[in-house]
Each structure stands twice: as C-alpha cells, then as structure tokens.
Amino acid sequence: MLESRFQRLDKAIDPTRTPILNGIGNRGILGAPFDAADVLLAMQGYITPSAHDAINYSRASGDNFVIGKSLGALDVTNIVGQGYADGGLAISLPFPKISAPGVTVMNGAADLINLGVGGSITNPGATYPCMCTFHNYGPGL
C-alpha cells in the first residue's frame, strides 16, 4: 500500500524537525499516478489526501503551521488559504500557483518547478536563498 506524502515526525524524539508535505516521487514509481492526480487537484485549490493527513495531524498536535516542498508546497497554500492552518512555508511553489496570505514562499533561483526567479511573477514576495533547485535547501529536510 502506498503511503501519504505527508511525513509525520515525532517531536518527542526530535523537537527540531517539523512535519512536512513532500513532493513528487516521494512514493516511488507506483505512486506516480497518484502524484499526477494530486498535482491536478492541488493546482485547482482542492485538498489532496496527503494535505488531509497534514490537517488531521495539525489538529491533533496543536501545530497550526505547515511546510511543504514542490507538490507539497501546493498543498500548503491550499491548506492555509482555506483556513485549516494559520501559516506555512512553501518551498519551491510550482509556477503559476499563487500563494495564500500567511504562506512564506522560498524558491530556488535556478529551479524550473517555480520558474526560477520568474516565480516572482505570481509570487512577488518570494525569497530566493540560493542559485539551486529545491532539493538543496529547506528547514528540517
């Protein structure tokens, strides 16, 4: 059975790590059709099954902040935009998705997923901490 893209972390074991919504490829080749479906849902603003897992975890843990990268960044902006969390961090938010208020966008200047620095067209407040792709940076990754 395939797992969720939401990575639950036990803060009692490591309080420095934050739960995260992972991107495409996290579930291997068998997960590819589900990743494709998640992209189509998330780009339209729908809550994906992995985002639903993150919402349930956040409610149970009392943590009202979500982090995601790539496809997970789409989930973050949908979760915050629909009021399920107060804030979030979207790492490499795919172009042309517009982030919700309360979401900090951190893109790679050379990352094609977010259109490099062109990602500022739809997210003018995005930061570019490096000339890299999303695989090379991010808190707790």
> For residue 72, what pLDDT is reported?
93
Show me where the domains of the chain are located. Answer: 6-135
* Residue 116 identity (one-letter amino acid): G
Would you state the pLDDT for residue 7?
84
- Burial status of residue 61 (CB atoms within 10 A of its CB: 0-12, 13-18, 19 or more): exposed
pLDDT at 75: 96
Residue 41 tokens, joined? 């849902």
Q: Over its length of 141 residues, how does the chain's per-residue pLDDT go in tens digits?
A: 578 888 876 655 556 566 789 888 888 889 999 999 999 999 999 999 999 999 998 888 777 888 998 999 999 999 999 999 999 999 999 999 999 999 999 998 888 889 988 989 999 999 988 766 555 444 433
pLDDT number for residue 112: 87
Whole-structure pTM value: 0.86
